Structure 1
Amino acid sequence: MRSHTLNRVYLFILLGALLASCSQKEKKLPEVAVRDTTITVENSFTELFVDSVTLNRFVKTTENDSIANQIQSFYNHRNYQFAWFFPDGLADFVPTFLGLQNDYIHYSGDSSLYNAALVSRIDSLKQLKKINPKDTSIVNTELLLTEQFFKYASRAYSGDHRINIQELNWYIPRKKINTEAFLDSLLKNKAQNLSAYEPVNRQYNLLKENLLKYYQIRKDQTWDSLAPDKKKYKEGNSYAIVPEIKQRLFALGDLPEADTSDLLDTSLTQAVKRFQTRFGLKQDGQIGAAFFREINVPIQERIQQILINMERIRWVPATPTTDYLLVNIPEYKLHVYEDGNLSFSMNVVVGSEAHNTVIFSGTLNQIVFSPYWNVPPSILKNEILPGIKRRPNYLAKHNMEWNGNAVRQKPGPKNSLGLVKFLFPNSYNIYLHDTPSKNLFGESSRAFSHGCIRLSEPKRLAEFLLRKDSTWTEQKITDAMNLGKEKYVRLRGKAEIPVFIGYFTAWVDQNGLLNFRKDIYGHDKKMAERLFSTGTEAVALKN
């Protein structure tokens, strides 16, 4: 019996190894470009060319197959021309690239990219005034610089590939960057005007700027917990704690000028309101429990929060220039973009902690006016059927009916989906919809749903989506919402619109203000375990 069990164990292990091997084989590597032999010494921009034998030998010793293919493709495109050296010496954009990399290492704490041997090589070649393309040291430095660039670009712009984003419940596909095209642009522009071709979402650099400010705050300030000594603080009065509050709000940029007085004046009230805006609190200017809870969070934790969200930003595409919708779950907001610019935003209600709204992307292609609500099996089992047992008229009271073996709620103003819903096909059964429970939009925390996203201004979204169809007037949309029977409207072609359901607890808003929100689903905590336990970004937190 024992031998049979062991055989099954060995078979399971062998099968697992074979599956893993197949999975690795199926991993798609970047295609290698065909060598461009039309480039010759006569028409090239440099007379320096890498020997093909040397290049092939170098590529074969490159440990990362993806980067090996990128190196080969890069030099094939340029018919083996040098990139980092000119006949009269090292290119002036080499120090610029190394500066970019050092900047990344500084703010991310990821010292694994630092290549001391390469830096030493470059230092030893800086003074050369004539470059010999057959000099082994020079050729190897040329190739090592290209390899180093691809390593840097992959990490800095697409994120840490050691992190499995789906393990973190993130189902928006990682962006794909063309590092070869990025390097070509860098060389062509001599590393100038980087923002014009840098393959990163605009939010990334905005967060980076604020990260550096927070590093400085951590260096300059002590951030011990402030203990309130009053239940309520009134404007016009003086309090012993006010100078410390002013000092912190000045450091954070909410108080425009330094002030050491203990008077709770109008400028402090305005600074508190600004702080409350940035943290998603009720903007009443009151120095209360919620205010102290947020301002007492250690600066080091805020640095971690920024780094976590910078990593997420690396996964997403560069800022789209098209129409799109973005729901930021921790912010409880839907942002509507037209041609890449923010058009308007609205409050939303998202899934509760027990019913997380899924992080994913899709394409909105249908509007359903006066919708039925098809009750999900879980709600039918846990809520509807117990209700029917208690009260035989439960379905009629809630305007519901049997539809085969399922239950649905009829269209109308009391329908749980309200008067309109917006569909973007997905396997999570998540969509945007109206709601009769308008009171929830006034809450500062709005995680109440079973996973779908409730909109505070659904009619406004319908008008935006149908704005280019002249037959859909405001009155017609209102009539369709109150029709009393279900009406599907299909968006076609360019009218279809990408939808991103994201999870960002730190970002910079359109007014240039750094915002923070609570980690309502615990996703930041999971990210922290992966990012800061490896000793990479953690280095930055200790320095």
Structure 2
Amino acid sequence: IFIILTLSCAYQCKKSNKGTSTENGNEASRRNAHPMADVTIDSAQTKKYLQTYRERQELALGIKRFYTARNYKVAWVAEKGPIPHAEKFINRLEHADTDGLRPKDYRIDELKNLVDKARSSGSDEDITNLDLLLTTEFSRYAAQLNSGITRFEKEETGWLVKVAPTNYDSLLNVVLTDNSADPFVKVEPDHKEYAQLKKALNAYRSFASSGGWPLLSGITKLKIGDTSEQVVKLRERLTMTGEFRTGAANFFNPKVFDRYLEIAVKEFQTTHGLDPDGVVAGKTLTALNKTVNERVQQMMVNMERWRLMPKKFTPTYFLVNVPEFKLHVYDEGKEAFNMRVVVGKEFKSTPIFSDKLEYIVFSPYWNVPKSITLEEVLPAMEKNPNFLNKMNMEVVKGWDPKKAMVVNASQVPWANIEDERFDYWVRQKPGKNNPLGLVKFIFPNSNNVYLHDTPNDYLFNQVRRDFSHGCIRVSDPLHVAKFLLKDKPQWTEQKIKEAMNKGEEQYVNVTKVPVYILYFTTWVDNEGKLQVRDDIYGLDKALAARLGA
């Protein structure tokens, strides 16, 4: 009996081994005859796949283009299975929050499952499903990271900066042929400001994970010489963010607000656009008591704005950062100079957009907006018939400022002023009291916004400078004019000054320069310090809500 059982077991084992060997051999021969890298995706399958989700439909053209160029061969799978880029990409998605994106927005678990299936079974269906999902998720990720989550909501967010579209299929080809440790870094916006904010974001996230910084309580004011438990918290708070240098503490009594702490407070105030008086009160106290998570959200919002920017700047351009109240002028890729500006009030906000500066107007007229004519000028004319002469104003007929004809104000049908066809305007003649000053710089746009001089120079001494009706007043118009006319040697500084003070309007064309009117409330400066500004128009809050930040 024992011999029979032994022979029977031996036979069964041999039969079983033979079957396994044959099965493995068939699989091996199938793969040798039909390598994974040669698997093709049916075009009809691709079309159906792309219709499944709205996001896929938005990106469908690029995905179709990508596979058509490859004759529908898989891109993410090689001879022995998924290429390393697949794992690297999934890892990128898992850490999408380092770029201010949300990992939960991506189908990470499904991707991991398909990678396992492709490795274990290697069936054509699993390979094509994996390849399609990797490509579509890459397209979604690249679109969000490279062009912005809110790229289709610019009207709603008020961000009307012009950008050229990105071909994500071309970007994917670049990434898949890059064998560096992190080829997907090429998807990130190619602006150093974005990379700097990303680094700061992750540093502040570390602060948050360790409990954040202490908040000040029970006080309305702290200044040098004060003694308080809150001084200890203040010193700790400023040490975390780098304004207070370790080792500069008051060793005799850490509760004393000493001169070293005052220096740190002044630095904090400077980097937050506040009056650097060294006193912790009012806006300074409010800024200090913003939580780490609030600052993290602010960085995420501003990183999104960089994603909505053009991929590259031209060597020469103007950039107005509205919350900073500053104009930055770049030449040959570097900042040539900057100056203070005055921007629109909250209820007359300066719009966020881009265009090209085309010409200068020396000794400009000021065309009074109809709203101001209706609300201020006409009532003043009724009270004082000599009002227009007193204010150096006149009435003209015609839309074209170069062809407008001066008319008698008493002959104008002012009752029809709100009619769209009403073509009479009040304008102020050139002169030192003209609200536009002695020169304006025009980049034609539907917002009727431009850069200009002002007779009210004292406003540039204010820390917060949102006083205009939307246009942007520059503190040094002569410098701007000299820069724009530098390629016209006949326009010497003396000639420019004469044109500004001549009292006769003069138009001068210039080489077109891109102008960006932007809205950044936090950024890292050239010294590596995080700069923070007030959300003067409430745009941060609105964008954060759309991002789900």
Same fold (TM over 0.5): yes
1:102 aligns with 2:91: no
The code of the aligned residue for 1:518 comes to: D
The equivalent of 2:540 in structure 1 is 524
The one of 442, 448, 453 equivalent to 2:461 is: 442
In 2 relative to 1, CA 194–448 (structure 1 residues): closer, same or farther, beyond 3 Å? same
The equivalent of 2:428 in structure 1 is 409
The code of the aligned residue for 1:428 comes to: N
The code of the aligned residue for 1:188 comes to: T
The equivalent of 2:17 in structure 1 is none
Q: 1:79 Cα shift?
A: 3.4
1:85 aligns with 2:77: yes
Contact 1:364 1:499 in 2 (8 A): yes
The equivalent of 1:376 in structure 2 is 369
1:460 aligns with 2:479: yes
Task: Give CA-to-partner distance per residue, 1:451-499, whole Å, 9 cap, x none.
Answer: 11111111111111111222222222112111211110012xxx20111
Contact 2:342 2:468 in 1 (8 A): yes
The code of the aligned residue for 1:416 comes to: P
The equivalent of 2:128 in structure 1 is 139
Contact 1:200 1:317 in 2 (8 A): no
Mapping for residues 57-72 of structure 1, pairs under 5 Å: 57-63=45-51, 64-72=56-64
Q: 1:116 Cα shift?
A: 0.8
The one of 471, 495, 500 equivalent to 1:476 is: 495
Mapping for residues 264-343 of structure 1, pairs under 5 Å: 264-343=257-336
Contact 2:154 2:160 in 1 (8 A): yes
Task: Give CA-to-partner distance per residue, 1:221-259, whole Å, 9 cap, x none.
Answer: 355641364755126x65432221111111122223276
Q: 1:194 Cα shift?
A: 5.4
1:511 aligns with 2:527: yes
Q: 1:300 Cα shift?
A: 2.2
In 2 relative to 1, CA 346–193 (structure 1 residues): closer, same or farther, beyond 3 Å? farther
1:397 aligns with 2:390: yes
Task: Give CA-to-partner distance per residue, 1:51-103, whole Å, 9 cap, x none.
Answer: 25x34413322232233322221122233444222224432222222222222
Task: Give CA-to-partner distance per residue, 1:427-468, whole Å, 9 cap, x none.
Answer: 111111000000111111111111111111111111111112
Q: Specify every segment of 5 or more residues in structure 1 that has no aligned partner in the other structure, as ranges.
A: 1-45, 538-543
Partner-residue secondary structure (3-state), 2:285: helix
1:425 aligns with 2:414: no
TM-score by length of 2: 0.81
The code of the aligned residue for 2:382 comes to: K
Q: 1:351 Cα shift?
A: 0.9
The code of the aligned residue for 1:58 comes to: T
Contact 1:250 1:258 in 2 (8 A): no
Contact 1:322 1:338 in 2 (8 A): yes
Mapping for residues 149-168 of structure 1, pairs under 5 Å: 149-161=138-150, 164-168=153-157
TM-score by length of 1: 0.82
Task: Give CA-to-partner distance per residue, 1:116-167, whole Å, 9 cap, x none.
Answer: 12112224556x7xx96x6332232222211221121112222225862212
The code of the aligned residue for 1:209 comes to: K
In 2 relative to 1, CA 254–193 (structure 1 residues): closer, same or farther, beyond 3 Å? farther
1:178 aligns with 2:167: yes
Mapping for residues 166-205 of structure 1, pairs under 5 Å: 166-173=155-162, 175-191=164-180, 192=182, 198-205=188-195
Percent identity among equivalent residues? 40
The code of the aligned residue for 2:463 comes to: S
Partner-residue secondary structure (3-state), 1:365: strand
The equivalent of 1:10 in structure 2 is none
Contact 2:265 2:279 in 1 (8 A): yes
The equivalent of 1:206 in structure 2 is 196
Structure 1: distance between partners of 2:183 and 2:487: 36
Larger mean CA deviation between 327-336 and 339-348 belongs to: 339-348
1:233 aligns with 2:213: no
The code of the aligned residue for 1:203 comes to: E
In 2 relative to 1, CA 196–509 (structure 1 residues): closer, same or farther, beyond 3 Å? same
Contact 1:122 1:141 in 2 (8 A): yes
Larger mean CA deviation between 304-313 and 161-170 belongs to: 161-170
In 2 relative to 1, CA 359–222 (structure 1 residues): closer, same or farther, beyond 3 Å? closer
Larger mean CA deviation between 476-485 and 217-226 belongs to: 217-226
Task: Give CA-to-partner distance per residue, 1:167-191, whole Å, 9 cap, x none.
Answer: 2222224552221121111112225
Structure 2: distance between partners of 1:475 and 1:317: 37
Contact 2:40 2:74 in 1 (8 A): no
Structure 2: distance between partners of 1:317 and 1:498: 11
The equivalent of 1:118 in structure 2 is 111
Structure 1: distance between partners of 2:110 and 2:184: 26
Structure 1: distance between partners of 2:149 and 2:514: 25
Structure 1: distance between partners of 2:167 and 2:192: 17
Task: Give CA-to-partner distance per residue, 1:510-540, whole Å, 9 cap, x none.
Answer: 33222222121222232233232xxxx4xxx
The code of the aligned residue for 1:62 comes to: L
Contact 1:207 1:508 in 2 (8 A): yes
Structure 1: distance between partners of 2:222 and 2:124: 75
Structure 1: distance between partners of 2:432 and 2:217: 48
Larger mean CA deviation between 431-440 and 175-184 belongs to: 175-184
The equivalent of 1:499 in structure 2 is 515
Q: 1:359 Cα shift?
A: 1.3
Contact 1:247 1:258 in 2 (8 A): no
In terms of Rg, which structure is larger? 2
In 2 relative to 1, CA 79–199 (structure 1 residues): closer, same or farther, beyond 3 Å? farther
1:217 aligns with 2:207: yes
Q: 1:199 Cα shift?
A: 4.2
Partner-residue secondary structure (3-state), 1:354: helix
Contact 2:59 2:140 in 1 (8 A): yes
In 2 relative to 1, CA 217–182 (structure 1 residues): closer, same or farther, beyond 3 Å? same
In 2 relative to 1, CA 528–195 (structure 1 residues): closer, same or farther, beyond 3 Å? closer
Calculate the aligned-residue CA RMSD, in Å: 2.5
Larger mean CA deviation between 361-370 and 308-317 belongs to: 308-317
The code of the aligned residue for 2:45 comes to: R
Q: How many residues are aligned here?
A: 479
The code of the aligned residue for 1:351 comes to: G
The code of the aligned residue for 1:59 comes to: K
